[in-house]
Every structure is written in C-alpha cells, then in structure tokens.
Amino acid sequence: MHINPIQLFDADSSTFTYLLVAADGVSAVIIDPVDHHLERDLAHLQRLSLRLCYVLETHAHADHVTSAGRLRERTGAQAGAPSGCGIAPAELQLVDGDVVKFGEGEQIDVLHTPGHTAGSMSYLWRGNLFTGDTLLIDGCGRTDFQSGSAAALFDSVTHKLFTLPPDTRVWPGHDYHGQSVSTIGWERQHNARLARRSRAEFEALMAELHLPRPRLMDVAVPANQNLGLPHGV
C-alpha cells in the first residue's frame, strides 16, 4: 500500500519535517524536527493518537536547531542519527545499510549519502525517499562547509539515489521555491545542478556558488550534535 508522509514546514529556515505513520495507524517516526515547532509536532501526534517510535536526523543541521532531544523526552521515542555526524546522545548510530523497523513490518532503509556533510544519510520508506540536504527539488545542498564535498555529493546522488526506481518520491529537507515533492525519475532528467552533468562540471559549478555562511551555524551545529538540548544535559 502506498502511504505518503505528512509534510510539515518551518518558514524561518525553509525546512521540511516529516511525520511517517505506519499502516497500523498507531506507530510513527519523525524526521528532522525543528525546535520551535515542538508543540505543533506533539499536537499532531496527540490528534492522531500516535506513538512516536523514533526521531531521525538526516545530518547535523547548520541552519536550524532540532527538537529531537525534547521530543524524545516528551514521547519516550528513541533518537537515530548518522554515525558520522557527531550526534553522540542518539541511541541509534546509523550506518549505511541499516534498517530501522517500527510498527507492524514497517522498515526504513538507511542510505549513506555523503556530500552535503560527510555523515549525511537519506532514508527510504515505502517508496518515499527522504533526502535531507543531499538532493533537493531541482537542486542540491551546499557542499562548502561541514566536511562537505561536491565530488562525494555527485557520487551519492548519481550512483546511489538515481539508481532507485524512477517513481520513488523525493521528499527534500528544504525547499526555497514552494515545491514540496518530486520523483527520482524527474530529478534524474531535469535537476538543474545534477542532470546530464559530468562530475567535473558539477564540482566547478558548486565551487562558483560563493554562498553566505548560515546565520545560525555556530549555534546550530553544536546544539544539534546534542539533539538540541543544552550541553551538559
């Protein structure tokens, strides 16, 4: 059965949070929650009578702070994070090929997709691919800080994500243009940065971007490495 995630948005950082509800209608997983939407997200869980099993992070974000630690406290869920992102308090230190199970037979496949950061992961559930900042709709995440690598991102997307079935739905970590979902087939054909481009062309393109440093970076990355909780907690 095809199930879409519930897509939630943070207008301050243009971040998407995803609520995955199992076919049993009870078990749930949240991906990339944002700190100031904690009460909104808890209200969704309560309204739908959901039991939150896991809070997953795609990477240690530089542009917003996660609510994973507080969501965990309030719901009893466990936190899962890429093993290479330095998010020590997460119970699940995920590596490529891991499977996160929840509900009755639900499974989330963990795909290591380095490039935006060295540890970045994508998550695949029921034909829904949560790409974090690795692959965006008609774009991709930046690769110029946090151990980013344009070459690694190119390989992650073209060798790993673009080999998934074309009808795999792409649910990005951000969107700055008002789009919410795409497919692997569409992005493979039309993605403005990655489609029909060589690795060297992509590296040159990314080197020319000269993006400003994220406003919250010095605060957000250390906070996110502690699941958004004050250090020492």
CB nearer Fe ion, residue 22 or residue 221: 221
Q: Does 57 bind Fe ion (CB under 5 A)?
A: no
Map residues 206-225 to x or -, x wherever contact with Fe ion holds by CB under 5 A: --------------------
* Number of amino acids touching Fe ion (CB under 5 A): 2
- Residue 211, classified by CB atoms within 10 Å of its CB into exposed (0-12), middle (13-18) or buried (19+), is exposed
Q: Which CB atom, from 27 or from 146, has the smaller least distance to Fe ion?
A: 146
Cα distance between residue 223 and residue 218, in whole Å: 9
Q: Could you tell me the two tokens for 83?
A: 């093993």
Instruction: Name which of 35 and 106 has its Cβ closer to Fe ion.
Output: 35
When asked if residue 133 is in the footprint of Fe ion (CB under 5 A), the reply is yes
C-alpha distances out from residue 33 to 74, 113, 156, Å: 14, 20, 24
Contact 110, 94 (CB under 8 A): yes
- Residue 141 beta carbon to Fe ion: minimum distance, rounded to whole angstroms: 6
Interaction of residue 175 with Fe ion, rule CB under 5 A = no
Q: Which stretch binds Fe ion (CB under 5 A): 68-76, 127-135, 188-196, 197-205?
A: 127-135
Sheet-wide strand order for 15-21: 6-10, 15-21, 27-31, 51-56, 78-82, 92-94
145: part of which helix (H) or strand (E)? none
Residue 51 buriedness (CB in 10 A; 0-12 / 13-18 / 19+): middle
69-86: b (≥16 Cβ within 10 Å) or e: bbbbeebebbbbbbbbbe
CB of 58 to Fe ion, least distance (A): 8
As measured in angstroms, the least distance from the Cβ of 195 to Fe ion is 22
CB of 53 to Fe ion, least distance (A): 24
216/229 with CB nearer Fe ion: 216
**Residue 115 beta carbon to Fe ion: minimum distance, rounded to whole angstroms:** 11
Phi, psi of 61 (to 5 degrees): -70, 150
- Return the number of other C-beta atoms located less than 10 Å from residue 199's C-beta: 13
Binding pattern to Fe ion, positions 1-20, x when CB under 5 A?
--------------------
Residue 126 CB, nearest approach to Fe ion (Å): 24
Nearest to Fe ion of 61, 188 (CB atom): 61
Q: Which residues bind Fe ion (CB under 5 A)?
A: 61, 133
